[in-house]
Amino acid sequence: MNCLRAIAISLFFFLVGMVGPIQAQLQMNFYANSCPNAEKIVQDFVSNHISNAPSLAAALIRMHFHDCFVRGCDGSVLINSTSGNAERDATPNLTVRGFGFIDAIKTVLEAQCPGIVSCADIIALASRDAVVFTGGPNWSVPTGRRDGRISNASEALANIPPPTSNITNLQTLFANQGLDLKDLVLLSGAHTIGVSHCSSFTNRLYNFTGRGDQDPALDGAYAANLKSRKCPSLNDNKTIVEMDPGSRKTFDLSYYQLVLKRRGLFQSDSALTTNPTTLSNINRILTGSVESFFSEFAKSMEKMGRINVKTGSAGVVRRQCSVANS
């Protein structure tokens, strides 16, 4: 009897332990009671400002991606460091934009519901809303993320896929986050909007193997145009170039068409054609409708938004997104 009682007690505490994490998961309308208008506040702010800066849609979705790939979706990409060692100081994040936009939303939320809505959730909601308001896909954003307080430049450098990635590196870095090759292809589709600096790809034009050569995987005519009209030198780090020329303001399938024509801007874009699974996914997407792509893209975004999230008693809710201990 004592043995059975001990087993029952052990089972009870095991089940109690299991309930905690389940209750602490992300959920739709997490702030329904604590800050009922939270999601509408974010949505209205984005709606009121996105027309003046439509390029923010691409900037915010990139910020969300970079945040989730380092310590999970915990808002750590927003933290400032006086020593210059935070994530936003790392090379991949030097061209990330939208920090002030997120701070502005946070200010409005803090005035309504002090200390309730996390910076991580603001990024997730604002990036979705910005894409929707510019005609892109919609996706569900369950909330309840909590913020981290640790932000290291070295971790950003190690975990964010650089534009020079080959397929092996991409597959590894995505797999590290629980994302597969299908997710890689779908999330790369966000390159259909936005711009890049020349510095992210000029090695393909001028010094691909360190011998002053050009990447043979890049279409020759496209490379010549980039050299003559966009990026005249290897050292140009200011000029910006459309990632999806002629269609950068429209969330559509043209990015994938360009990739197959060897006109993807980054080496990482070109890499998608070097693996049978990723290439097959591109061809499958192109034979389908834009609506089908939107639906699949949405699922991968929802999956990415759940990467290593802090919920329940883990993490904090930072009062100022740029300050670790706020």
| Residue 87 among known ligand-binding residues | yes
Residue 232 among known ligand-binding residues: no
Annotated binding-site residue? 191:
yes
Residue 74 in marked binding region: yes
- State the sign of the Cα–Cα–Cα–Cα dihedral 122, 200, 71, 141: positive
DSSP symbol at 190: G
How distant is the alpha carbon of residue 221 from its chain centre?
Answer: 31
- Strands (DSSP E) contained in the chain are 195-197, 240-242
Q: Does 64 belong to an annotated binding site?
A: no
Output DSSP code: residue 273. T
Rounded CA separation 136/323 (Å):
32
76 is in an annotated binding site: yes
244 is in an annotated binding site: yes
Annotation-wise, does 67 bind a ligand? yes
Long-range contacts of 216-222 (CB under 8 A, 24+ apart): 217/262, 217/267, 217/270, 218/262, 218/263, 218/270, 219/261, 219/262, 219/263, 222/262, 222/263
Catalytic residues: 66
Provide Rg for the chain, Cα atoms: 21
Is there a binding annotation on residue 72?
yes
Q: Which amino acid is at 15?
A: L
The whole-angstrom separation of Cα 248 and Cα 59 is: 12
Length of the chain: 326
Annotated binding residue at 161? Answer: yes
Q: Which residues are part of a known binding site?
A: 67, 70, 72, 74, 76, 87, 161, 191-192, 244, 252
Q: Which residues are part of a known binding site for heme b?
A: 191
Q: Which residues are part of a known binding site for Ca(2+)?
A: 67, 70, 72, 74, 76, 87, 192, 244, 252
Q: Which residues are part of a known binding site for substrate?
A: 161
